[in-house]
Structure 1
Amino acid sequence: MTVTNPNPAPVAEAPRSGGTRLVDRVLKMRELAILVVLLVMIAVTQAGNSQFLSEQGIKDLLLNAAILVLVATGQSVVVLTRNVDLSVGSTLGISAFAAGTWLHGGGDAIVAILLAVLLGTGFGLLNGLLVSLGQVPALVVTLGTLYIVRGVDSIWVGSRQITAADLPGSFVDFGSGGISAVPWPALIALVVLAGTAHHLRHFGSGRELYALGSNPEAARLAGIPVRKRILAAYTFCGSLAGLAGAMYLARFGNVDSGTGNGYELTVVSAVVVGGIAFTGGSGSVYGAALGALLLTSVNSVLPALGVSSVWVLAINGVLLLLAIAVDRIVALRVAAALKKKSDRTKNVMAKENAGA
């Protein structure tokens, strides 16, 4: 008769590799560095322009950052899987115009927001199907859908324009209202950000995205539904791009066929600067949000100091290059650490075999 232990000892969690610990340390240091740079930049700007941190100044900063944080959160989930979505800018633009058209026709504001989210979800689902089931490279697929959506947007919108005068006053007030200096769109972005971070950290489907980005083949062999996870990531990204379109409409009240042009580059910059490795598998959405806040602050700080807006693009480019360089250095360090550990393990096994 076999006797089983009713209280088996818990299995100790396997220690993380030196490479993994190195990545964690670097990412935490990068997020801390971004926060320090952001605070110093704001302090210097406030010293040069006392109105920068006024209630309205803080509200404008958070309003602009909220839209970028929403899209960057969705983009982060996609990049974690070692993919990218370049169509988020065009999705934002067409979703904003769809919501504006509905409101201009006398529709309800809640329905307009849902319409924008559903439209974004549809485009995200299309991208996900092409990438996951069609096995087409993400860069090719989303670049194609970028032009397709932009073309549809241009044909549909034409020379028309939605302005604040065409929208209900309550919707426009929602875009600029809030609790003290914190606007409603910023609170929505914060809830979405916190919910996404919680899911990635505490749910199996979220942790599987990291495993998929780290090593797609190993994830597939481990039984992770790779195609399903990629499809879900793109669908979620499209949904947030649609929601950001509705928030853009509420924030600016002005939408035309050019809305969202080039926005995808800003989003990718925010994600990479914030510490999401472009090769997938590491980073956090909180870091991406800090990257979005940093880029938004640069766009606000330089004009406040009287610096030409041309330098905004230059600084964004420098930050992106620095982030990519850091990612490359970390990748090389991690590879070296893992190789050293592998060699050490082989040596130990060889000695044990020789002793036997």
Structure 2
Amino acid sequence: MAVNRAETTKIIIDHREAFFRIIDEIDSSGQGRRASEEFTVARYERYLSISTENLADKERWVVLDALSVTNLKRNKMLVFSHDQTGRFLLVGWLREMLRSFDDMRLRGLTQPDLNHLHERLAVLLEQVKGPQVLWIDNDQGFNELVRTVHDVFNDVAYRLTQNVAALKGRCDALAKIVDGADYSSMDRAGQIAKALEEIYSIHERNVIPTLRFLDPKLAIKRTVNTGGASNVINDPPMRIVEQVIERFGESKKLECVEQLKRVEFQILSLSDEVTILRQGLEQYIQLVEAQRRRYEVIERRYNRLHDEVRDRQDGRRRGFRIPMDSHIFDKAARFRGLKDHRARKGGLLDWPKGAGRE
């Protein structure tokens, strides 16, 4: 039975748990699958069956009909549906809507994403500065340009707002894991270490690039392809936003200036939120960096000890032990003088074949 798009959308919202299961599964899978966000029909139908099993028969069949791959395709809610591989992909607005129900499922913007937004703004500025633009209110070309400017501005603002919400949601969840530390459990300690590494990754790959994007004074020089030719962008994204608005101001389009200024202020306000987020992450970043420094020190000392011991394994029956006064033990000098409990006789070590620590 065919179900129209409006009713299908409502049913998706009411029964979104089936989609959440798949989204969470995708997010915890390999990088390739995370990037594509494809659903498998078999798994989708299984989760759909589980989420509707407690419904009355009549209601259940309505929901299953509405959320069937066939009905989603009929309502133009799929990018594609591939019968041979049994995979399909929801349209972008639907995926974003499902993720927007929980900040934990939102995706943060990385440097390539921000670069793309930067390039879109640069292309927009070239269009606004073009000599072919007639700044006449009723001109069709001008009206199309105004609509394009609003679309780009609004989309940039939307994506950055979603980005900040995603970063805050994910970092809050990770911080709770770290703050509830219980090192008596190896599994729990492993979760904490993983959470710290993810916080560090978010800080470096999402938070810092976002702050740079929002800084109108940051010197940026990038080469992009605009209008089929390579052009150099010398201005940061927010400075480009200002220049677009200034061009409308020069043409006395004050209503457009006012509308675009509101979007600009919204984008700039995100900088404060990201700054607060970065400051909140500092203690975790310092903890990760301290752990990495400790690990590097331990690894260096182990490698020195490893090399020293191995060099002494030359087949002789004497001199294969490292003397207690060796420089390699300088860092442990406080333990010198303790009673020696070494065995009177020791054999050569049976080193594994190959090089390095195996």
Q: Aligning the two structures, in what range does the TM-score lie when normalised by the shorter sequence? A: under 0.3
Structure exhibiting the larger radius of gyration computed from Cα positions = 2
Which of structures 1 and 2 has the larger relative contact order (alpha carbons within 8 angstroms, sep 6+)?
1
Higher relative helix content: 1
In the superposition, the TM-score normalised over structure 1's length comes to: 0.23
